[in-house]
Structure 1
Amino acid sequence: MTRHQPALEPPARLLVDLLRDEGVDRIFGNPGTTELPLIREVAAAGDLPYVLALQEHSAVSMADGYARGTGRPSFVSLHAAGGLANGVIGMLNALRSRTPMVVLACQQDQRHLAQGPMLTGDLVAMAAPVAHCAEQVHRAEDLPVVMRRAFRRARTAPSGPVFVSVPTDVLSVPARLALPPRSPLPELGAAPEAARAAQVLTAARRPAIVAGDLVGQSGADTELRELAEELGAAVYPQPMFDAVNADSEHPLTAWPLPPDNAAIHRVLAEHDIVFFAGATIRPHHFRPQSAVPEEVVLVQLDTDPAQIARNHPVEVGMVGAMRPTLAAITAEVRSRRTPETAAEAARRAARTGERLVAQRLAWREEARAAACAAPMRPTAAVQAVADALPESAVVVEEAVSSGPALWRALRVRRPGDYHHTVGGGLGWGIGAAVGLQLAHPTRPVAAVVGDGSAMFGVQGLWSAAAQRTPVVVVVLNNAEYRAVREPADPAEAAGYPGIDLVRPAVRWPLLARSLGLDAVRVRHTARIGPAIRDALNAGRPTVIEVPILGSAAEHRAAHTEAPGWVGV
């Protein structure tokens, strides 16, 4: 039997075929000259939309949101050293949030490198700290294998970004290449220590569960809820969580743990046994105190062996898939129940639920009662936002100082309803919302962002308009970097440089309209809801500026009416 040799073709053409085979249905990027071989093939193919960003951080952020929304690795194309440098912050966010994506940057032609051309650099070294792996393709013959490997690693737990550098000549010089088949990933099953974990947890008198992002990312919220109900355990979302890991309205769901070791210590000290279910503790500021009291017994489950007992000793450490492991633990707990232990767990659940529900409802009513004119109290503003959003909404949050209040106000009940990034690289929110809207074209998507965060990723507004995505962006404007001011001594912070965003004030409606969006500035808490509903009904990308309280100086300066502001 005669075996036919592959045709002599540009390797970029095979790359496009490989992307399709990996489930990629659009490319996020900002093009440059080194990407021309790929751009040429994408244009010829006609079935891979190119989602243009005006800055690479926005491109990576859009890809982050799209991967979250579709559940598939996204693909990003960056331009040489400069483009990669701009995209690194988005890759850091994706790495911390375990968002699967393949990032490709086209290196200068290898025949050109000895001359040190513009935009060249050690791309692999630049990307390595913010990617699970980073490598350069030196020969066209290696391109198919390296790209298959990249997508495979991006999907493998712990998932995240993978970087590939491809010189222009590798993509453009014709070669005879065949597309290797895609190999399935082995499935991670239930952890074998599930029975031991159940034994420890059933002995708890005051159990708690810290619900981590792996719960929401794997859709294991039902399994976690059933375990919590069997144990009568309070459920705390992990600090600075990225996903809905527990139904916000369930009686056993507490407020999230704060990103502060001393505060976490105080909360966990009320419990004797704590289960870290796919949770990661990343405190924001240094405290000498450990987050976990010495007397607390820990049980931990993760898909990444490196996370087990990383910072705190555990009684039982498990590596396994979230859903089957949680289900196995629950089944073991049920098999060990006696009438007495079952009755005690039910009483504990009732007491805990009554307290947590009352706390939740009281906070929301107090926030609603604080309705006022601009500048508004942050709690009143975020409660008005939460009350206006429909149950089907997807919420993207990047409001550093108002984010904790927003979570208390929101009713988010399913994985996928809420997104944040624990990576800490500002400017993610607007781009991520655009990516999520592309992934969920029939669901309303709202980004709630601080004014400081929004300016780091403001180019994403242009992409929202260019893609005609009906994203609603609520800018909570306190005219300062409040997250910097809050931990400081109040007497000293008044004189700190680099905190105030007062002069010149950013005129958000003017800025948004210049980029092709509708925009409005609201003057009263009571107008937030109608503004959001009007934007959702219009079906066009819209910015809603909400002036909120910062310091006294900013109230007078930043929230004074100025030409070009349109308010309601």
Structure 2
Amino acid sequence: MPTTVRDVTHDLLRRNGVTVLFGNPGSNELPFLAGLPREVRYVLGLHEGVVIGMADGYAQASGRVGVANLHAASGTGNAMGALTNAAVSRTPLLVIAGQQVRDTVGQEVMLASTDAGLLTRPLTGFSAEPLSPGDVPRTIAQALHETRVARSGPAYVSVPYDDWDRPAPPGSAHLLDRVVRDATHVDPAVAADLTRRLRAAERPLLVLGPELDGRIGYDPLMALAEHLGATVHVAPSPHRLPFPNRHRLFGGVLPAGVRSVAAALAGHDLVLVLGAPVFRYHQHEPGELLPEGTTLVQVTDSASAAARAPMGEAVVADPAAVVESLLDLLGVDVPATLAADASDRWTPCDAPASAHDALHPAEVFATLRETQPADTSYVVESTSTNADFWAQMDLRHPGSYFFPASGGLGFGLPAAVGVALARPDRPVVAVVGDGSANYGITALWSAAQLGVPVTFVILRNGSYGALRWFAGLLGTPDVPGLDVPGIDFVPLAEGYGVPAVHVKDRSALAHELSRTPEGPRLLQVDTSLTTPEPASQDVG
């Protein structure tokens, strides 16, 4: 039986399936890490933002809770940018942070975190500092269940470091034996009403969101779309891909502006949004939210997303379960076929020719498509090349696309490490811009230490390309700070222990990519400057 608060907590993590702990320790965290069970693998990150990025990628790709250990207020502060991504994606992520000795916190001694329970709000759905040592295990158990079952986003628990050696609280065995299940249930009346409306619609449209990826296969979604004869869009600003992007009914990612979305919905009498907020706009385009004659119904398991939507009706339910109910009520059989078959008739467009001394980004993506296995997971953080990515890529499997959900930079490199740890059965490629790469560059060291076979492709154009596009959009072409020239990622990567090469033409790129990596590798590719704008019109 466990004898200390630490023993109970370690057992609690183990019984909840935690086998990997991501961290960057400080003095306050050492008592928690002592005696860590052998079944739990400790993954060290050299910066707290990288720690959260790895845990975020791991949790999303595995479907399990990602657990991170951070250092008090300063370490948590370093991780806040990365937490914005996990908050928007509602990643099941538990952060356990160290705190000074309980009796000294009120004195604000060195490394004390005052009001620790408020520190990460509103980025965490649950955050607390237990009021007594005996309540530490129960609080951590609550945090685990809140983030995993309630899907409230990341959870944060601050623990004074002298609590860990205190005696285990009475009743610990009950806490360890508890099981919290999510019993998925769809109101039959709601499902019947949606079915009736879909049957009556003359031109229905499906808008799918990232909540579906990893929770339901592509085949049921394709079967629903084909039965309805409905065009399928992906909701704006997606961080996951819930539908094969080469299916004949795929209409592309919706643009991220009010006026542009309304134009895309025009002519459809019923728009069914499954697993997405309504909507995550980006560029400011004032206009009517919905075209005349269009009814919108949103299905999401986020009560907050349903409550804050400015238009349409909303149903709070598991969108994957709703899809299954609709298929049953519509009498649709889901064929036992692979989503890969849906793309066989697609012919990719030609990639633009290379610029002088630089590849066009479309050439890079075309080469990735031609050389990488069909089930490759892509972690993408190169905003200015979005149009070319969607124009060239052929993604046929769930879990093929990961993007920073809030747009917070520094996700790409560490998340790719986390995805690779979670899914060692699938190749992982990180496509990251040179501006973005600097935010999480120390993830290369973790990749080297772990030996994960991730291919890091750095698109180097010496600029914050997306900002250049926005500068034109906002009429501010003369702003400073948009260029980042002179960074050579080859020696940087090699210094962290990752083999690297500067690729200067497409044939050399194809040669490097055709080799199966045995560990991490980095390819630096000089690319011409492009903008994300065309992706807002058509990515299919």
Fold equivalence (TM over 0.5): yes
The one-character-per-residue Cα deviations of 1:405-443 (angstroms, maximum 9, x if unpaired) are 213322111211221122111101111110111111232
Structure 2 distance, partners of 1:57, 1:411, is: 31
Structure 1 distance, partners of 2:307, 2:32, is: 44
Q: How does 1:223-234 map to 2 (within 5 A)?
A: 223-234=220-231
Q: Is the 8 A contact 2:56 2:415 kept in 1?
A: yes
* Change beyond 3 A, Cα 1:308–1:173: closer
Q: Is the 8 A contact 2:471 2:479 kept in 1?
A: no
Structure 2 distance, partners of 1:92, 1:191, is: 33
Q: How does 1:315-354 map to 2 (within 5 A)?
A: 315=313, 317-334=314-331
**Corresponding position: 1:429 with 2:426:** no
Structure 1 distance, partners of 2:153, 2:390, is: 25
Q: How does 1:141-156 map to 2 (within 5 A)?
A: 141-156=134-149
Q: How far 1:525 sits from its partner (Å)?
A: 2.5
Q: How does 1:97-108 map to 2 (within 5 A)?
A: 97-108=89-100
- Identical aligned residues as a percent: 32
Partner of 1:462: 445
Amino acid at match of 2:386: G
Q: Is the 8 A contact 1:220 1:322 kept in 2?
A: no
Amino acid at match of 2:39: D
Structure 2 distance, partners of 1:323, 1:22, is: 24
**Corresponding position: 1:365 with 2:340:** no
Amino acid at match of 2:264: V
The one-character-per-residue Cα deviations of 1:209-228 (angstroms, maximum 9, x if unpaired) are 11111111312533222211
The one-character-per-residue Cα deviations of 1:461-507 (angstroms, maximum 9, x if unpaired) are 111111111111111111111111102238975532010112xx110
Q: How far 1:544 sits from its partner (Å)?
A: 0.7
**Corresponding position: 1:242 with 2:239:** yes
Match of 1:30 among 21, 24, 30: 24
Q: Is the 8 A contact 1:78 1:84 kept in 2?
A: yes
Match of 2:15 among 18, 21, 26: 21
Q: How far 1:112 sits from its partner (Å)?
A: 1.9
**Corresponding position: 1:58 with 2:58:** no
* Change beyond 3 A, Cα 1:547–1:309: same
Partner of 2:535: none
Q: How far 1:333 sits from its partner (Å)?
A: 3.4
Structure 1 distance, partners of 2:527, 2:465, is: 11
Q: Which sits farther off after the overlay, 15-24 or 283-292?
A: 283-292
Structure 2 distance, partners of 1:246, 1:157, is: 25
Q: Is the 8 A contact 1:30 1:79 kept in 2?
A: yes
Q: Is the 8 A contact 1:238 1:257 kept in 2?
A: yes
Partner of 2:462: 479
Q: Which sits farther off after the overlay, 81-90 or 380-389?
A: 380-389
Structure 2 distance, partners of 1:60, 1:467, is: 16
* Change beyond 3 A, Cα 1:188–1:202: same
Any idea what SS the aligned residue of 2:142 has? Answer: helix
Q: How far 1:294 sits from its partner (Å)?
A: 4.0
Q: How far 1:456 sits from its partner (Å)?
A: 0.8
Structure 2 distance, partners of 1:157, 1:272, is: 33
Q: Is the 8 A contact 2:254 2:261 kept in 1?
A: yes
Q: Is the 8 A contact 2:375 2:397 kept in 1?
A: no
Q: How far 1:334 sits from its partner (Å)?
A: 4.3
Q: How far 1:159 sits from its partner (Å)?
A: 4.3
- Tell me which protein shows more helix as a share of its residues: 1
* Change beyond 3 A, Cα 1:490–1:184: closer
Structure 1 distance, partners of 2:443, 2:193, is: 48
Q: Is the 8 A contact 1:64 1:101 kept in 2?
A: yes
The one-character-per-residue Cα deviations of 1:155-184 (angstroms, maximum 9, x if unpaired) are 124342111111111113344552412223
Q: How far 1:207 sits from its partner (Å)?
A: 1.6
Partner of 1:184: 180
Structure 1 distance, partners of 2:406, 2:280, is: 10
Partner of 1:264: 261
Q: How far 1:241 sits from its partner (Å)?
A: 1.3
Q: How far 1:58 sits from its partner (Å)?
A: 0.5
Q: Is the 8 A contact 1:373 1:523 kept in 2?
A: no
Structure 2 distance, partners of 1:64, 1:149, is: 19
Amino acid at match of 1:529: A
* Change beyond 3 A, Cα 1:492–1:330: closer
**Corresponding position: 1:524 with 2:505:** yes
Structure 2 distance, partners of 1:538, 1:323, is: 35
Query: What runs of 5+ residues in structure 1 fail to find an aligned partner?
Result: 1-5, 336-353, 552-568
Partner of 2:339: none
Structure 2 distance, partners of 1:434, 1:29, is: 14
Any idea what SS the aligned residue of 1:396 has? Answer: strand
Partner of 2:403: 420
Q: How does 1:161-180 map to 2 (within 5 A)?
A: 161-177=154-170, 178-179=172-173, 180=175
Structure 2 distance, partners of 1:105, 1:285, is: 36
Partner of 2:534: none
The one-character-per-residue Cα deviations of 1:331-372 (angstroms, maximum 9, x if unpaired) are 33349xxxxxxxxxxxxxxxxxx9x999x63xx3222x5356
Q: Is the 8 A contact 1:191 1:318 kept in 2?
A: no
Structure 1 distance, partners of 2:143, 2:391, is: 39
* Change beyond 3 A, Cα 1:15–1:158: closer
Q: How far 1:378 sits from its partner (Å)?
A: 2.1
Any idea what SS the aligned residue of 1:538 has? Answer: coil
Structure 1 distance, partners of 2:117, 2:426, is: 38
Q: Is the 8 A contact 2:270 2:294 kept in 1?
A: yes
The one-character-per-residue Cα deviations of 1:292-346 (angstroms, maximum 9, x if unpaired) are 324311122111233236324325x3222223311222333349xxxxxxxxxxx
Any idea what SS the aligned residue of 1:489 has? Answer: helix
Q: Is the 8 A contact 1:191 1:325 kept in 2?
A: no
Amino acid at match of 1:430: L
Q: Is the 8 A contact 2:184 2:321 kept in 1?
A: no
Structure 1 distance, partners of 2:64, 2:469, is: 38
Match of 1:252 among 249, 254, 259: 249
**Corresponding position: 1:135 with 2:128:** yes
Q: Is the 8 A contact 1:485 1:493 kept in 2?
A: no
Partner of 2:517: 538
* Change beyond 3 A, Cα 1:258–1:157: farther
Give the number of aligned pairs. 516
Structure 2 distance, partners of 1:485, 1:399, is: 13
* Runs (4+) off by over 6 Å: none
Structure 2 distance, partners of 1:125, 1:233, is: 45
Q: How does 1:65-144 map to 2 (within 5 A)?
A: 65-121=57-113, 122-144=115-137
Q: How far 1:154 sits from its partner (Å)?
A: 0.7
Structure 1 distance, partners of 2:218, 2:104, is: 53
Structure 2 distance, partners of 1:451, 1:221, is: 33
Q: Which sits farther off after the overlay, 258-267 or 434-443?
A: 258-267
Partner of 1:449: 432
Task: Say which one has the larger Rg.
Answer: 1
Partner of 1:10: 4
Query: What runs of 5+ residues in structure 2 fail to find an aligned partner?
Result: 333-341, 531-540
Q: Is the 8 A contact 1:437 1:470 kept in 2?
A: yes
Partner of 1:388: 371
Q: CA RMSD in A?
A: 2.3
* Change beyond 3 A, Cα 1:331–1:17: closer
Match of 1:214 among 203, 211, 216: 211
Partner of 2:536: none
State TM-score, norm by structure 2. 0.90
The one-character-per-residue Cα deviations of 1:133-170 (angstroms, maximum 9, x if unpaired) are 11101322112211111111011243421111111111
Q: Is the 8 A contact 2:146 2:155 kept in 1?
A: yes
